[in-house]
Amino acid sequence: MFGIGKKSEEVKTGAQGEVKGTEDEIQFEFEENDRLPFDDDENFTDEDFVDEDVANESRKGMRQSLSQRTLLLVLLLLLALGGGGGYYYLNSTSVPPSPAPKAPVKTRVSVQPESPAPVVVAPPQEPQPVIPISEKSAPATTAVAETTPAPDAAAVPSEPKRATASNPAVSQPYTLTAGAFVSQKNQREVERKIRRLGYTPQVQTVESMVPMTRLLLGIYDDPAAAQARRQELSAQLPGLFALQQGEKVALYAGSFQDLDQARRLADQLYLRGILVDEETISLSMSLKKISFGSFPSRAEAEKAAKRAAAAGLTAQVAKR
């Protein structure tokens, strides 16, 4: 089929040909049975051309059949789309839309304005006269020893009053307090000293916890024995009192706000052979707080307090 020229040594004979020539020229010569058909024009026949025409016709028919199928599928697709669109159109237009709900009609109601009620203006009330508080005695269960006013009498402070039309606290914000008293005798004595200084005493009742000192004579199981001892000492002890403690009775020589005065009495009783015990308690009591004077400044109030001290009355400056 082909030849190769090569300068070399002699080559051994192959299986399908033999070697001819020298080492400078090698030629392979194939056998006759290796020849392919149709190598020569003489070997072509009419049957070969007829078979090719038939194949061309067959391919042409297949192409036409394929085109027809494609056209049929397109028509079916268009038909399906048209049917679906018509069905949708019929369904969307067959049911009439429901009417929209009507808005409620508002009815105007005319309201007649009520005539305003006449306003009754109360006439201004006249200021009521200040009624002095009546003197109250000490509680029945507690006998308080009567004492002369001491310079260190306990004064209960009170909150300053707000200025009103009838209260001169705006122009006279300071006053003097002479103390708060349980004993009516001490209260009256202080009021007399205040009037001598040219002032009018102002008395105010206040509730306060007051520390008291009691002198206990004894506790008796028999109430009759306690009553007999009370009658025996009543002439010597004007402040003597008794208190029920369950089934027993406690007898006291007196109850004192001033501790020094209580101890002076205890010393006197000791000299008479009567022994007592001290008891300290706190009682909620009504006190009489006494104040006097109105002053525009603290300096003026302090001057008045010095004049009161010279007259034997202890007073402290306080704001209204």
Q: How many CB atoms lie within 10 A of CB 305?
A: 19
Query: Quick check: is 223 in a domain?
Result: yes
Q: How far apart are CA 22 and CA 7, in angstroms?
A: 9
Query: Quick check: is 67 in a domain?
Result: no
Backbone φ and ψ of 260, nearest 5°: -65, -40
Query: Quick check: is 45 in a domain?
Result: no
Q: Which residue has the higher pLDDT, 128 or 65?
A: 65
Query: Over 90: is that where the pLDDT of 298 sits?
Result: yes
Query: What is the structure's pLDDT at 121?
Result: 43
Residues 227-245: tens digit of each pLDDT:
999 999 988 899 999 999 9
Domain that holds residue 4: 1-36
Closest CA to 240 of 308, 136, 142, 134: 142
- H helix runs in the chain, sequence order: 46-94, 184-196, 223-233, 259-271, 298-310
Task: State the DSSP code for 237.
Answer: -
Residues 247-279: tens digit of each pLDDT:
999 999 999 988 999 999 999 999 999 999 999
Residues 186-231: tens digit of each pLDDT:
999 999 999 999 999 999 999 988 899 999 999 999 999 999 999 9
Query: Quick check: is 44 in a domain?
Result: no
Residue 256 belongs to domain with CATH number? 3.30.70.1070
Residue 119 and residue 143 in contact, taking contact as beta carbons nearer than 8 Å = no
Q: Give the chain's length.
A: 320
User: pTM for this one?
Assistant: 0.38
Q: Is 229 exposed, middle or buried (0-12, 13-18, 19+ CB in 10 A)?
A: middle
- Domain count along the chain: 2
Backbone φ and ψ of 18, nearest 5°: -125, 160
Residues 128-139: tens digit of each pLDDT:
433 333 333 333
- % of the chain beyond a pLDDT of 70: 56
Q: Strands of the chain (E only): list them.
A: 19-20, 27-28, 174-181, 202-220, 241-245, 248-256, 277-295, 316-319
Least confident of 81-95, 98-112, 124-138, 286-300: 124-138
Query: Quick check: is 304 in a domain?
Result: yes
Residue 250 and residue 116 in contact, taking contact as beta carbons nearer than 8 Å = no
Query: What is the structure's pLDDT at 102?
Result: 56
Q: How far apart are CA 228 and CA 230, in angstroms?
A: 5
Q: How far apart are CA 279 and CA 260, in angstroms?
A: 14
Q: How far apart are CA 241 and CA 229, in angstroms?
A: 11
